[in-house]
Amino acid sequence: MSSRIEFEAAQINRPDMVIPKRNEHVWIATAVYRLSDKEMLGKEQIHMDMENLAFTVFGCFVCEQAFETRLLYRDCPGEPDDLTPSPDR
């Protein structure tokens, strides 16, 4: 029995979470983990914890600007893609 947990990203896809209202920033946090070749090949269990967390980045999903407090007071200048969920997603 394998201890590796596998899943397809499509199963947890939540496009409704990133659909902005008019001129709204959609703030997201991105975490970057360092993984080994063995983990990527499935020869070791994948760990994503503080020991291999490289950094986190905060920014707007729509306009792709890094978070700055001043942006909280400005409209998002980005033009979002059509992220409306469709029946085939």
Q: What is the pLDDT of residue 26?
A: 94
Q: Are 45 and 3 in contact (CB under 8 A)?
A: yes
The per-residue pLDDT of the chain, averaged, comes to: 82
Between 87 and 75, the more confident residue is 75
Domain borders along the chain are: 27-76
Q: Are the C-beta atoms of residues 75 and 23 closer than 8 Å to each other?
A: yes
CA distance 34 to 22: 36
Select the more confidently predicted residue: 9 or 12. Answer: 12
pLDDT digits 0-9 by tens, 25-36 = 999 999 999 999
Distance, C-alpha 44 to centroid of its chain: 24
Q: The pTM is what?
A: 0.67
